[in-house]
Amino acid sequence: MDINVVDRFIEAKSALFSSLADEIWQFAETGYQERNSVRKHIDQLKAAGFNVQEGVAGIPTAFIAEAGSGGPVIGILGEYDALSGLSQKSMSLRCEPSAEIANGNGHGCGHHLLGTSAHLAALAVKSFLEERELQGTVRFYGCPAEEGGWGKAFMARAGLFNDLSAALTWHPWMVNTIWNMETLAVKQVYFRFSGISAHAGDSPHLGRSALDALELLNIGINFLREHMLPSARIHYAITNAGGIAPNVVQANAEGLYMIRAPKNQDVESIYARVCDIARGAALMSGCGLEIKIHSGCSNLVLNNVLNQVMHDNLSRFGAPSYDEEERGFAESMHRTTRPEEIEMAGRTLQGAWKDPKPLFDGIDALDVKRPGQLHGSTDVGDVSWITPTAQCFIACYAFGTSPHSWQWVAQGKSSIAHKGMLLAAKTIAASALELFVNPGLLDQARQELDQRLRGHAYVCPIPDEVSPPIPEQVVET
């Protein structure tokens, strides 16, 4: 396949899609509330001739756009949710809120670039299939709420990925490489304690403190940490401390907990133990207990066959070229980072860059025999259990700047970010087209997935009775 065809098509659309990414940056809509962002994507996809299903899996901000006919069916995954409380002025070298963003949120993980690039890649694949009169279907998935809402897990539970031959995606990052790292599975759950209020000075013996129960839960979890897998994680937020009056025995208290571990079955084992601790805390404090699962996602299953396809195509395109102004901006942003952040950033590298500099301008090596471990989680993991899946990291930010930070929001509309977004679109599109013209690769990828799963079928970590945590104002509209 001639990658020049892909290159020319995407470069011709660069201005339009850079503008789309900037609009979604400015909307800065958080999980399950991405109404404006979704509308922009859907309107352009319909105008381009895609058949669009809106509101899939019962989620108003999830959609599927499809073009072509028959098999194979290649899925391209897009995201567009922002993070709360990360409003930041574009291109600023210090932390300051943006006058452009009214809701206080910000794209601190680059999903405005992620979804826009995936959209553009799907458009390029559609054009190629039509031009060459090839059989096959390209399907763009509009996936909401990756940041803790795990939209793809709900979509997977609804069976929306079951007929895919493969899935491709990417993530904005600080380097150009293939995502060759396993991630942690996660279950997110509320523990709600109910007690009896009383006057804390006059009659505390008549009260039963729900806040005591929540504290006892945390103490028990701290003792558990020594006796769980070293790579497992439990973290939490107190979402209801029972009020601000210290002279009232708190009748209600609640915490939202994230339990992470390398495999789905590891999470389930730890979750059962945490539930036992919560029951013990309720018993010790004389309180009632409600356990309510919020959401969850699966660990990522790597696929070396697809990773190699993406790496080869990424290498053929090569890194973008940068001018002095771009390098100067990256250097200035790089200076806002701490040494430990730069050191953390280097863990994604296999060896192409031993001497970090502010702007990554190469393609890192791929060593499929040495996968890394990312202690975060992604709902792409649920897709990877169902169909062979691969994704790449593309440099859109100065090296060392951390995701989920004001620095990422500040760089999100830069020309560096736009160039990275276009490189991602080219890599995904070229990889998808290679799979269409060489379906034998899909057979190899499926065989590898079957071998990795070892007979284990996908089981969604979210029970059927748990609905997506969609805010009421979204449901009403």
- Please report the pLDDT score of residue 348 as a whole number: 58
Q: Rounded CA gap, 334 and 138, in Å?
A: 38
Residue 319 domain-assigned (yes or no): yes
Q: Do 51 and 69 reside in the same domain of the chain?
A: yes
Q: Do 200 and 168 reside in the same domain of the chain?
A: no
Q: Rounded CA gap, 318 and 315, in Å?
A: 5
- Please report the pLDDT score of residue 61 as a whole number: 98
- Please report the pLDDT score of residue 476 as a whole number: 39
Alpha carbon of 259 to those of 183, 217, 236, 273, 444: distances in Å?
13, 14, 9, 11, 34
Q: Which of 360, 233, 378, 227 is nearest to 302 (CA)?
A: 378
- Cβ neighbors of 131 (< 8 A, separation 6 or more) are none
Residue 198 domain-assigned (yes or no): yes
Residue 313 domain-assigned (yes or no): yes
Alpha carbon of 66 to those of 13, 109, 138, 419, 427: distances in Å?
20, 26, 6, 26, 20
Residue 360 domain-assigned (yes or no): yes
**Weakest mean pLDDT among 284-293, 300-309, 339-348:** 339-348
Domain boundary among 252, 278, 297: 297
Please answer whether residues 80 and 37 qualify as being in contact, where contact means their C-beta atoms are separated by less than 8 angstroms.
yes
Flag whether pLDDT at 474 surpasses 90: no
* Numbers of helices and strands, H then E, in the chain: 15, 13
Q: How many domains does the chain have?
A: 2
Which carries the bigger pLDDT value, residue 314 or residue 472?
314
Q: Do 271 and 330 reside in the same domain of the chain?
A: no
Alpha carbon of 140 to those of 22, 76, 186: distances in Å?
20, 5, 25
Alpha carbon of 47 to those of 42, 44, 51, 374: distances in Å?
8, 5, 10, 39
Q: Do 130 and 215 reside in the same domain of the chain?
A: no
Q: Do 281 and 317 reside in the same domain of the chain?
A: no
- Which residue segment(s) compose the domain that 63 sits in? 3-183+300-453
Q: What is the CATH number of the domain that holds 428?
A: 3.40.630.10
Q: What is the CATH number of the domain that holds 199?
A: 3.30.70.360
Which carries the bigger pLDDT value, residue 394 or residue 342?
394
Residue 307 domain-assigned (yes or no): yes
Q: Do 24 and 134 reside in the same domain of the chain?
A: yes
**Weakest mean pLDDT among 88-92, 237-241, 472-476:** 472-476
Residues 110-132: tens digit of each pLDDT: 999 999 999 999 999 999 999 99
Task: Tokens 């940490």: give the residue.
Answer: 225
Mean pLDDT of the chain: 94
- In this structure, the chain runs to a length of 477
What band does 39 get if pLDDT is binned at 50, 70 and 90? very high
Q: Rounded CA gap, 271 and 267, in Å?
A: 6
Q: Give the type of residue at 118.
A: A
Which carries the bigger pLDDT value, residue 306 or residue 351?
306
Cis peptide bond prior to 72, omega within 30° of 0 = yes
Q: Give the type of residue at 173.
A: W
- Please report the pLDDT score of residue 409 as a whole number: 98
What band does 475 get if pLDDT is binned at 50, 70 and 90? very low
Q: Rounded CA gap, 275 and 100, in Å?
A: 44
Residues 166-219: tens digit of each pLDDT: 999 999 999 999 999 999 999 999 999 999 999 999 999 999 999 999 999 999
Q: Rounded CA gap, 272 and 262, in Å?
A: 16
Alpha carbon of 266 to those of 41, 291, 302: distances in Å?
37, 19, 18
Average pLDDT over residues 124-148: 96
Percent of the chain with pLDDT over 90: 89
Q: Do 133 and 190 reside in the same domain of the chain?
A: no
Residues 313-346: tens digit of each pLDDT: 999 999 999 999 999 999 999 999 888 777 776 6
Residue 466 domain-assigned (yes or no): no
- Please report the pLDDT score of residue 355 as a whole number: 64
Q: Rounded CA gap, 83 and 97, in Å?
A: 14
Which residue blocks in 357-404 are alpha helix, DSSP H? 380-386
Instruction: Extract the runs of DSSP E, i.e. beta strands, from 241-319.
Output: 252-261, 288-297
Task: Tokens 């409380």: give the residue.
Answer: 85
- Please report the pLDDT score of residue 357 as a whole number: 83
Domain boundary among 297, 323, 344: 297
Q: Do 69 and 164 reside in the same domain of the chain?
A: yes
Alpha carbon of 180 to those of 130, 213, 223, 334, 350: distances in Å?
32, 41, 33, 25, 10
Residue 252 domain-assigned (yes or no): yes
Q: Rounded CA gap, 9 and 17, in Å?
A: 12
Please answer whether residues 106 and 82 qualify as being in contact, where contact means their C-beta atoms are separated by less than 8 angstroms.
yes
Please answer whether residues 379 and 152 qualify as being in contact, where contact means their C-beta atoms are separated by less than 8 angstroms.
yes
Q: Do 377 and 286 reside in the same domain of the chain?
A: no
Residue 395 domain-assigned (yes or no): yes
Helix or strand holding residue 421 (H, E): helix 415-437
Domain boundary among 297, 318, 343: 297
Q: Do 325 and 284 reside in the same domain of the chain?
A: no
Q: Do 285 and 218 reside in the same domain of the chain?
A: yes
Q: Do 85 and 155 reside in the same domain of the chain?
A: yes
Count the neighbouring beta carbons within 10 Å of the beta carbon of residue 20. 21
